[in-house]
Amino acid sequence: SVPLSYFSGIGAASKIGVLVKGSNFLEGLQKVNTIVFDKTGTLTKGEFSVIATAPINIDSQQLIHLAALAEQSSPHPIAQALVKSDPLPKSSEQLTNIQEIVGYGVQANYQGKQLLVGNARLMEKNSVMGFQAVTPTTGTLVYVAYDGHYVGCLTVADTLKNDAAAAIKSLKQLGIKDIVMLTGDNYATAKNTADRLGINSFKAELLPQDKLRIVKEYQQQSIGKVAFVGDGLNDTPVLAGSDIGIAMGALGSDAAIEAADIVLMHDNPGAIPQVFSISQKTSRIAI
Ligand code: ADP
Ligand code: MG
């Protein structure tokens, strides 16, 4: 049986914009000792801007234009930044067969030739001629290839959410033992983000399926429950597969909201320690 106080706990959570889908999840939070966070859109705003370009044999405007053409129907936050930055008009372009390759980027056919926009993995997978991966110092690199040849890269950068670092600190104070960050982004950017947030455990360059596998591994190792916090873009299976899935509601997809056990109606990670503390208080007053 569920103590009545859990219902008041659900009410308290709703007042801070957190939807808890059942008292069992509020109770379950007390047994969480590992919290796994997705990076982009969860701890960071997921609003990228183009901060540098390095074109090869074309000009910078053409490089951004090629990237934007391929990205125009992608839901990825990097895609939206590239489309916004495109200085050239997109009318009457011969673009066909656009395909999103989850965890890699996009592929399309432009004027009869293959256009690739994405990470180093995408370039390597397609054996792009002249491609050389750059070690980023800041930001995320987006590489572009046309007709089998490397034509340059763009650096895009995201910013941390305002309350992300404070949320991590509060979770540690609440006694959560393991705080982990998972990302498909490159190692250097992941390390920089983790350092700034005070997260000492992170894994980078992951594919969406790796995230689920890692959460399952933590579930096996951990004596407590494992919570996963994500924004939903490609993370729905991880939200569903973790003990307690926490979704960013405003950014998240309908499928993510459906798969989650707890939904943050706004996208502030600061609400996460608050709901943990509501859960702890709720248990203390339970008879
Ligand atoms: P995250 O784990 O940070 O949420 P994703 O799994 O969505 O990231 O993507 C992993 C990486 O794949 C990104 O950091 C980016 O380098 C690349 N990528 C994925 N989709 C796109 C896209 N549409 N355009 C450019 N790069 C992409
Ligand atoms: Mg993501």
Q: Which amino acid is at 109?
A: N
Task: Look at residue 285 in the predicted model and tell me its pLDDT.
Answer: 61
Can you tell me the distance from the alpha carbon of 50 to that of 70, in angstroms, rounded to the nearest whole number? 16
Task: Look at residue 136 in the predicted model and tell me its pLDDT.
Answer: 81
- Fold of the 49-157 domain: Calcium-transporting ATPase, cytoplasmic domain N (3.40.1110)
Residue with CA at minimum distance from ligand 1 atom 7: 103
pLDDT at 135 over 60: yes
Q: What pTM was estimated for this model as a whole?
A: 0.88
Q: DSSP readout, 106-125?
A: EEEEETTEEEEEE-HHHHHH
Task: Look at residue 281 in the predicted model and tell me its pLDDT.
Answer: 87
Write the CATH number of the domain with boundaries 5-45+161-285.
Answer: 3.40.50.1000
Q: Which of 159, 182, 141 is nearest to 47 (CA)?
A: 159
pLDDT at 287 over 60: no
Looking at the chain, the whole-number percentage of residues with pLDDT higher than 70 is: 94
Secondary structure letter of residue 58 according to DSSP: S
Structure tokens at 86: 């495109």
How far is ligand 2, taken at its centre, from the CA of residue 96, in Å?
Answer: 26
* Pocket test residue of 78, 126, 142 for ligand 1, highest count of atoms within 8 A of CB: 78
Q: What is the pLDDT of residues 164-198, one digit of tens each?
A: 999 999 999 999 999 999 999 999 999 999 999 99
pLDDT at 74 over 70: yes
Average pLDDT, rounded, for the chain: 92
Task: Look at residue 92 in the predicted model and tell me its pLDDT.
Answer: 66
Task: Look at residue 252 in the predicted model and tell me its pLDDT.
Answer: 66
Task: Look at residue 131 in the predicted model and tell me its pLDDT.
Answer: 97
Q: Of 1-15, 225-239, 265-279, which range is least confident? A: 1-15
Residue with CA at minimum distance from ligand 1 atom 13: 185
pLDDT at 163 over 70: yes
Structure tokens at 121: 């993995």
What atom of ligand 1 comes closest to residue 182's alpha carbon? 2
How far is ligand 2, taken at its centre, from the CA of residue 191, in Å?
Answer: 16
Instruction: List pocket residues of ligand 1, CB cut-off 6 Å.
Output: 38-40, 71, 74, 76, 78-79, 103-106, 117-119, 140, 142, 183-185, 208, 233-234
* Pocket test residue of 86, 99, 119 for ligand 1, highest count of atoms within 8 A of CB: 119
* Pocket test residue of 104, 153, 206, 212 for ligand 1, highest count of atoms within 8 A of CB: 104
How far is ligand 1, taken at its centre, from the CA of residue 183, in Å?
Answer: 9
Task: Look at residue 154 in the predicted model and tell me its pLDDT.
Answer: 97
Q: What is the pLDDT of residues 86-117, one digit of tens each?
A: 988 877 678 999 999 999 999 999 999 999 99
Q: Which of 280, 245, 45, 256 is nearest to 163 (CA)?
A: 45
Q: How far is CA 273 from CA 49, 135, 150, 172, 199, in A?
A: 29, 35, 45, 9, 15
Q: Return the beta strands (E) in the chain as ranges.
A: 18-20, 32-38, 49-55, 95-101, 105-110, 113-118, 140-146, 149-157, 178-182, 201-203, 225-230, 244-248, 262-264
Task: Look at residue 205 in the predicted model and tell me its pLDDT.
Answer: 93
- List, by residue range, all CATH 3.40.1110.10 domains of the chain: 49-157
pLDDT at 251 over 70: no
Q: DSSP readout, 226-277?
A: EEEEE--TTTHHHHHHSSEEEEETTTS-HHHHHH-SEEESS--TTHHHHHHH
Q: Of 55-69, 140-154, 194-208, 246-260, which range is least confident? A: 246-260
Can you tell me the distance from the alpha carbon of 236 to that of 213, in angstroms, rounded to the nearest whole number? 13
How far is ligand 1, taken at its centre, from the CA of residue 250, in Å?
Answer: 20
* Annotation says 163 is catalytic: no
Can you tell me the distance from the alpha carbon of 199 to that of 134, in angstroms, rounded to the nearest whole number? 25
- List, by residue range, all CATH 3.40.50.1000 domains of the chain: 5-45+161-285
Q: Which of 197, 191, 195 is nearest to 272 (CA)?
A: 197
Model ipTM?
0.95
Pairing mode, strands 49-55 and 149-157: antiparallel
Q: Residues near 11 by Cβ (< 8 Å), separated by ≥ 6?
A: none
